[in-house]
Copies of this chain bind each other. A is one copy, B any other.
């Protein structure tokens, strides 16, 4: 066990949340776990994909509705969706011929709570 401090996003979600970003230095393991999620949101296409998935009616949306919404090739959209999936932000489910994507609201809330800085300035 050379890397006992490894932490996953799911671990952090399980703890309900970690400390907000203005509550002291973030531990390196948490930073390593969280950075990929923010990085995944660091692209305009993925940000729009994420918003479409997160706001989808019924909590899920078909890839066949996502792909034509951009002027990008199918493989490129698939690549971005994979990035979101590997970052733990969305999950995919195949049903019949189509694949449906759903957002993970807990992870989104985790990230949001991290930045939220709920008026902490104690003004």
Considering the complex, which residues of chain A in the window 32-75 have a beta carbon less than 8 Å from any beta carbon of chain B?
A: 32, 34-48, 50-52, 54-55, 69
- Decide if A1 is an interface residue (CB 8 Å cutoff): no
Give the secondary structure class of A's interface. Answer: helix
For the complex formed, measure the closest distance between the CB of A41 and the CB atoms of chain B, giving whole angstroms.
4
A37 nearest in chain B by CB position: B42
B-chain residues with CB within 8 Å of residue A109 when the two chains form the complex? 115-117
A70 nearest in chain B by CB position: B28
State whether A42 touches B47 (Cβ < 8 A): no
Residue positions of A touching B, CB distance < 8 A: 21-26, 28, 31-32, 34-48, 50-52, 54-55, 69, 103, 105, 108-109, 111-117, 121
Q: Supply 18 further A-B pairs (C-beta < 8 A) apart from A22-B105, A25-B51, A39-B43.
A: A21-B47, A22-B54, A22-B55, A23-B55, A24-B55, A28-B44, A31-B44, A31-B47, A31-B51, A32-B44, A35-B41, A36-B42, A108-B115, A109-B116, A111-B112, A111-B115, A112-B113, A112-B117
